[in-house]
């Protein structure tokens, strides 16, 4: 038998596929090769069979040729992978050519007469060629995936460098410039990591990535206000503590993302997830039910020890000061019942072993059913306690009484009241932290356990940050920046409460068996610039409440003093076009771009104002800049699943509302300046004289920035305000 062109190849990548994009790319190839290898080896091959085999073989060869061309293009753009990628592409092309040769069967007569090596005469050669092709193609895909990891690491490094610069700035002007760069870099990082998160096959890694990215998203606004407060009050110790905590948390989150994508293990990563009661019950029931198959695979002592370890974990519930007496007694009673049923099982089990039974006896079967039922009842009771307490806390803490009191006390400069309400907030924080720990016990899946741990850590960190922000405000009660900073941390607390409500809903869904399927998301790179969304997200119809909430922004817009009447008319017309989540996210991106352009014009315009006016414009511009970057980052982050989509919609709406609030304060002031400019122009004093006086008070360094304006920057400002006005209703 003649040998195939791939007969001597021993190429084997030995690679583990860790992303859905690589897996999904390989599926069609595996299907085609399986068709070739598994054809029925009949003595007589019809013309139709030969044609089909030839067609499939040629299709594989052509597809491999195109695939290799893409791989070679990627290798050209990434020199560090050139050799490995080149070798893998060479092997893939060789295997594709071999398959094309083996499937070039022609007609039944020619196959038998000309002595060519084909799939019929060399099935072993076909199998070897198929293995070579799959391993080499997998190697190309995994190498391409390393480029995605490299992009994430490079993006993280840029963010870290800018973060260091932000931490060391000493002036507002320098901070604004660097923060603008930081925002753009964070948008890119969020985009890359969002793709990666949805592409991961490991649900635990996906959950950890989501937690780290949530920290980065929420900390961006905290970083802005905490840094501004520290710059305004450089000698305030509580302001410095507040700022340092934000920077530390962001660095930890950035590091966690890199640990996930590179699979590195830090000291913290060696810590395993805490043992949950749900997993303990699942493992215990599995051990008990295995006794039906084999009476001798486990010892009675091991099953008893397993139950005692499980009962010990319930102490998190029974030892809690917030567990009612009735709930504690119910849990203890169910634990005792589980012990009794397990003892009966062990007794029947020992008797069966003494009788040398080969399978579970009738007494054992009854004991197994009773034991499994008792631990299931225990799980149900623990779930009821944890979810009930969480629901009650969310209901009580939804009123935000300690936060309101802290804001009021800080604004009054009352340090004693701040200390008193700080103690109340600390108590509330401890209740929420403990409740998250209980929810972790009954969450039902490892990803939800990770989300519970993230919620616990978030409450644990944000609580002290709110207190330090309130202390700063109490020391400087007239400081607008300190007040704004406290407001931002309070909003982060409220946002985490909302996230906890969604987490509670997911835990209930798992308990009731309502988990839905998730759509895979692909993130492999293409030659040239990394492609963001390889698949278009499915549009989800917005419910009436969401549409009403978004369109209600039109009412606000209609009560502003417009820079352009036509922009209001257009915005009203556009309101009716917002029907799906895709519409919302697209308009969020558009709005963020318009807002960033407006910030650019405001920066140019503010350089032409006197100190007091410039300070007011720059303060509002900084808020708008951070909000627009946050909206852009959120809109470009891909999500999947109903809950994640709802969170993204809610975040987009809340950020848009905040943008509207800033614009509400900007528009009247800018219109005032506009009228002032027109009045000055029509007065006896010429614009040239006004400009000279202004330049004497505030020298402008960048003259080139003013060339595209009308001399005052007002016209450019009006254009951007009109554009933003047009989109506010979205």
DSSP sequence for 236-248: -HHHHHHHHHHHH
Half-sphere exposure of 76 (CA within 13 A, CB side): 9
Alpha-carbon distance 657 to 449, whole Å? 32
Percent of the chain past pLDDT 90, that is, above it, reads 35
Contact in structure between 215 and 450 (CB atoms under 8 Å): no
Q: Which residues pair with 82 in a beta bridge?
A: none
- pLDDT of residue 595 exceeding 70: yes
Question: Which residues contact residue 248 at a Cβ distance below 8 angstroms, ignoring those fewer than 6 apart?
Answer: none
**Judging by beta carbons within 10 Å of its beta carbon (0-12, 13-18, 19+), is residue 701 exposed, middle or buried?**
exposed
428 Cα distance to chain centroid: 27
- pLDDT of residue 478 exceeding 60: yes
In 476-564, which ranges are continuous DSSP H helix? 480-511, 544-551, 553-558
pLDDT category, 540, cuts 50, 70, 90?
very low
Half-sphere exposure of 604 (CA within 13 A, CB side): 23
CA angle 531, 534, 540 (to 5 degrees): 125
pLDDT category, 587, cuts 50, 70, 90?
confident
pLDDT tens sequence across 676-719: 655 655 544 444 443 444 444 444 333 333 233 333 333 344 44
Alpha-carbon distance 334 to 428, whole Å? 30
Q: Which residues pair with 200 in a beta bridge?
A: 19
- pLDDT of residue 532 exceeding 80: no
Alpha-carbon distance 372 to 286, whole Å? 9
pLDDT given at position 515: 62
Alpha-carbon distance 161 to 155, whole Å? 10
CA separation (Å) from 150 to 71, 143, 206, 264? 16, 11, 18, 14
Question: Which residues contact residue 32 at a Cβ distance below 8 angstroms, ignoring those fewer than 6 apart?
Answer: 56, 59, 60
Maximum distance among all Cα pairs of the chain, rounded to whole angstroms = 116
User: Of 592, 582, 677, 585, whose CA–CA distance to 632 is shortest?
Assistant: 592
Alpha-carbon distance 249 to 256, whole Å? 11
Q: In terms of pLDDT, which residue wins out, 9 or 392? A: 392
Summarize the confidence of residues 453-480 as an average pLDDT.
Answer: 96
591 Cα distance to chain centroid: 22
pLDDT given at position 655: 85
Token couple for 659? 């943008």
Q: At what angle do helices 446-475 and 237-262 cross, to 10 degrees?
A: 160
Element (H, E) at 684: none
Chain mean pLDDT for the chain: 77
For 278-292, give one letter per residue: b (16+ CB within 10 A) or e.
bbbbeebbeebeebe
Alpha-carbon distance 450 to 501, whole Å? 16
- Please report the domains of the chain, with CATH numbers, ordered by start residue: 20-105+120-146 (1.20.120.230), 169-265+399-512 (1.20.120.230), 277-388 (1.20.120.330), 544-676 (1.20.120.230)
Contact in structure between 278 and 444 (CB atoms under 8 Å): yes
- pLDDT of residue 523 exceeding 60: no
Alpha-carbon distance 421 to 471, whole Å? 11
pLDDT tens sequence across 638-659: 777 667 777 788 788 888 888 8
CA separation (Å) from 371 to 301, 357, 450? 16, 21, 29
pLDDT tens sequence across 317-375: 999 988 999 999 999 999 999 999 999 999 988 888 888 888 888 888 999 999 999 99
- pLDDT of residue 530 exceeding 60: no
- pLDDT of residue 4 exceeding 70: no
Alpha-carbon distance 18 to 485, whole Å? 41
Half-sphere exposure of 112 (CA within 13 A, CB side): 5
DSSP state of 517: P
pLDDT tens sequence across 236-257: 999 999 999 999 999 999 999 9
- pLDDT of residue 39 exceeding 80: no
Contact in structure between 73 and 527 (CB atoms under 8 Å): yes
Q: Which residue has the tokens 């996230």?
A: 499
Question: Which residues contact residue 141 at a Cβ distance below 8 angstroms, ignoring those fewer than 6 apart?
Answer: 21, 22, 25, 26, 524
Q: At what angle do helices 480-511 and 401-412 cross, to 10 degrees?
A: 170
Q: In terms of pLDDT, which residue wins out, 230 or 661? A: 230
CA separation (Å) from 586 to 189, 480, 578, 634? 19, 33, 10, 11
pLDDT given at position 602: 78
pLDDT given at position 144: 83
pLDDT given at position 574: 35
pLDDT tens sequence across 601-646: 777 777 777 777 777 778 888 888 888 888 888 887 877 766 777 7
Question: Which residues contact residue 268 at a Cβ distance below 8 angstroms, ignoring those fewer than 6 apart?
Answer: none
pLDDT given at position 105: 64
């Amino acid at each position: 038998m003649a040998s195939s062109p791939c007969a001597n190849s021993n190429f084997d990548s030995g690679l583990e596929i860790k992303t859905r994009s690589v897996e999904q790319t390989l599926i069609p190839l595996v299907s085609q090769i399986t068709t070739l290898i598994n054809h029925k080896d009949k003595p007589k091959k019809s013309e139709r069979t030969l044609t089909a085999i030839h067609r499939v073989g040629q299709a594989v060869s052509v597809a491999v040729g195109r695939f290799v061309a893409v791989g070679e293009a990627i290798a050209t753009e990434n020199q560090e992978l050139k050799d490995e990628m080149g070798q893998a592409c060479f092997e893939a092309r060789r295997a594709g050519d071999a398959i094309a040769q083996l499937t070039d069967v022609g007609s039944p007569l020619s196959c038998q007469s000309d002595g060519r090596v084909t799939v019929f005469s060399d099935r072993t050669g076909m199998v070897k060629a198929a293995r070579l092709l799959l391993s080499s193609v997998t190697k190309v895909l995994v190498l391409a995936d390393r480029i995605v990891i490299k992009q994430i690491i490079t993006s993280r490094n840029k963010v870290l460098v800018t973060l260091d610069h932000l931490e060391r700035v000493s002036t507002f002007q320098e901070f604004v410039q660097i923060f603008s760069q930081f925002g753009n870099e964070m948008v890119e990082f969020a985009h890359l990591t969002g793709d990666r998160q949805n592409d991961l096959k490991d649900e635990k890694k996906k959950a950890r990535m989501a937690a780290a990215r949530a920290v980065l998203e929420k900390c961006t606004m905290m970083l802005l206000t905490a840094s501004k407060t520290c710059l305004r009050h450089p000698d305030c110790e509580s302001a410095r503590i507040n700022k340092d905590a934000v920077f530390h948390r962001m660095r930890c989150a950035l590091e966690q993302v890199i640990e996930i994508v590179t699979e590195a293990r830090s000291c913290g990563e060696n810590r395993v997830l805490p043992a949950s009661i749900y997993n303990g019950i699942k493992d215990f029931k599995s051990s008990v039910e295995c006794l039906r198959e084999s009476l001798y695979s486990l010892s009675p002592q091991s099953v008893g020890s397993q139950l005692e370890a499980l009962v010990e974990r319930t102490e998190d519930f029974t030892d809690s000061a917030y567990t009612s007496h009735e709930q504690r007694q119910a849990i203890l009673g169910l634990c005792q019942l589980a012990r009794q049923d397990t003892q009966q099982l062990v007794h029947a089990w020992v008797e069966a072993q003494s009788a040398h039974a080969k399978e579970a006896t009738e007494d054992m079967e009854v004991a197994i059913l009773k034991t499994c039922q008792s631990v299931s009842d225990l799980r149900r009771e623990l779930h009821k306690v944890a979810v009930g307490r969480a629901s009650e806390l969310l209901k009580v803490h939804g009123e935000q009484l300690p936060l309101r009191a802290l804001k009021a006390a800080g604004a009054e400069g009352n340090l004693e009241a701040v200390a008193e309400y700080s103690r109340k907030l600390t108590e509330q924080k401890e209740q929420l932290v403990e409740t998250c720990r209980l929810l972790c016990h009954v969450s039902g899946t490892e990803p939800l356990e990770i989300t519970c741990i993230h919620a616990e850590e978030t409450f644990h960190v944000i609580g002290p940050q709110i207190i330090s922000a309130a202390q700063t405000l109490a020391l400087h009660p007239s400081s607008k920046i300190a007040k704004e900073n406290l407001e931002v941390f309070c909003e982060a607390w409220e946002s985490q409460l909302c996230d906890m409500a969604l987490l509670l809903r997911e835990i209930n869904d798992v308990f009731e068996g309502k988990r839905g399927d998730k759509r895979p998301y692909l993130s492999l790179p293409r030659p040239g610039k990394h492609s963001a969304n390889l698949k278009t997200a499915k549009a989800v119809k917005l419910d009436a409440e969401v549409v009403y909430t978004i369109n209600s922004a039109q009412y606000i817009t209609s009560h502003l003093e417009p820079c352009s009447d036509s922009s209001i008319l257009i915005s009203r017309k556009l309101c009716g076009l917002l029907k799906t989540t895709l519409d919302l996210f697209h308009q969020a991106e558009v709005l963020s771009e318009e807002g960033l352009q407006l910030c650019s014009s405001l920066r140019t315009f503010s350089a032409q104002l006197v100190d007091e006016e410039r300070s007011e414009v720059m303060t509002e511009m900084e808020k708008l800049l951070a909000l627009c970057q946050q909206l852009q980052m959120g809109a470009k982050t891909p999500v999947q699943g109903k809950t994640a989509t709802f969170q993204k919609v809610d975040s987009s709406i809340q950020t848009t509302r905040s943008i509207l609030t800033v614009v509400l304060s900007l528009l009247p002031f800018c219109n005032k300046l506009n009228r002032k400019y027109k009045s000055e122009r029509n007065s006896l004093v010429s614009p040239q004289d006004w400009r000279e006086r202004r330049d004497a008070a505030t020298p402008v360094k960048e003259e080139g920035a003013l060339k595209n304006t009308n001399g005052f920057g007002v016209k450019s400002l009006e254009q951007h305000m009109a554009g933003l006005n047009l989109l506010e209703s979205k």
